[in-house]
Amino acid sequence: MVKSLLRTGLMICVLLNAGHVSAQESDKIQWSITPYLWAAQASADLKIRDITIGGGEISFSDLVDKIDAAFMMNVEGGRGNWSFLADLTYFDIADTAERTLFDITARTEQTFLDVAAAYWPQGFGTQLSIIGGLRYSSFDNRFNFSDGGVTVAERRQSHDYADVLVGLRYRFDLSDRWAILTSGDASFGPSEGTVKLRADLAWTVGKRKANRVLLGYQYWQGEFKDGDILSTNFTYHGPMAGFNFRF
């Protein structure tokens, strides 16, 4: 976990430094910071040598008690036709699932970090932006298989992936204070690939119309392999709520 967080911090420092350089070349740089909560449902499938040995779905009401730590944040800064962004999601989850032949106790730490540049054809803050960058995924998964309280097998997957990331974002303006924000992206590389889709209803608040209340829904699916023995497939989907600070 420490190694993952150090790498995450380093990447964010690089991003902020890039924003600082841009600011030196401009009279003003615009920033956007969005902390958010994600009431996600999660499903996970574990395979060993292509034999499915566990899987199932955890509802949000059950997942709340099993998340030991969670952190979600988006930071973006830019001017002109370009911006730089970082999107961080961290989960620490533990759960026990009962199966016909054995019980599975799982504990997983997952870190997802997108670091990318966005090109805005009509200028930063307009409707359309095109994203390109990297998606860093880090997993530390521990699985214990037991029968009647006796451990019959243990497996651990600890691996980092750095995939190429591409995506699009588009804003549909409904009025001067209401809009629908949509985004879709995919990554490919050392992992088997990920897909993330999101839509938010945005309500601009304040006299200066500088901030937004966000209510939306996000779907995220990815498959990751650690050699030829162990593979995991994660799917997250559910409503989101956030607050977008712009300055």
- Residue ranges in the chain assigned as alpha helix (H): 2-24, 60-66
SS3 151: strand
**Which amino acid makes up residue 31?**
W
Lookup result for tokens 């996970």: 44
Query: Is residue 49 packed enough to be buried (19+ CB in 10 Å), middle (13-18) or exposed (0-12)?
Result: exposed
The candidate with the shortest Cα–Cα distance to 156, out of 138, 141, 169, 176, is 141
pTM of the model: 0.75
Residue 16: predicted pLDDT: 47
Residue 229: predicted pLDDT: 61
Which residues lie below 8 Å from residue 3, measured CB to CB, with a gap of 6+? none
Residue 99: predicted pLDDT: 63
Structure tokens at 107: 């504990």
**Which amino acid makes up residue 142?**
R
Structure tokens at 49: 């040598």
How many other β-carbons are positioned within 10 Å of the β-carbon of residue 51?
A: 7
CB–CB of 129/83 below 8 Å?
Answer: yes
The candidate with the shortest Cα–Cα distance to 158, out of 174, 176, 172, 137, is 137
Residue 152: predicted pLDDT: 75
Q: Compute the half-sphere exposure of residue 105: CA atoms within 13 Å on the CB side of its CA.
A: 11
Residue 53: predicted pLDDT: 52
Residue 190: predicted pLDDT: 87
Residue 86: predicted pLDDT: 97
What average pLDDT values come out for the chain (247 residues) when binned by 10 residues? 49 50 60 90 67 54 61 92 94 71 75 96 95 92 77 76 96 96 94 92 90 95 74 84 93
Residue 83: predicted pLDDT: 96
The candidate with the shortest Cα–Cα distance to 108, out of 142, 138, 136, 137, is 142
**CA 93, 98, 103: angle at the middle one, nearest 5?**
85
Residue 22: predicted pLDDT: 42
Dihedral (Cα; 223, 227, 228, 231), 10-degree rounding: -30
Domains of the chain (ranges; CATH) run: 2-246 (2.40.128.100)
What is the C-alpha to C-alpha distance for residues 225 and 220, in angstroms, rounded to an integer?
17
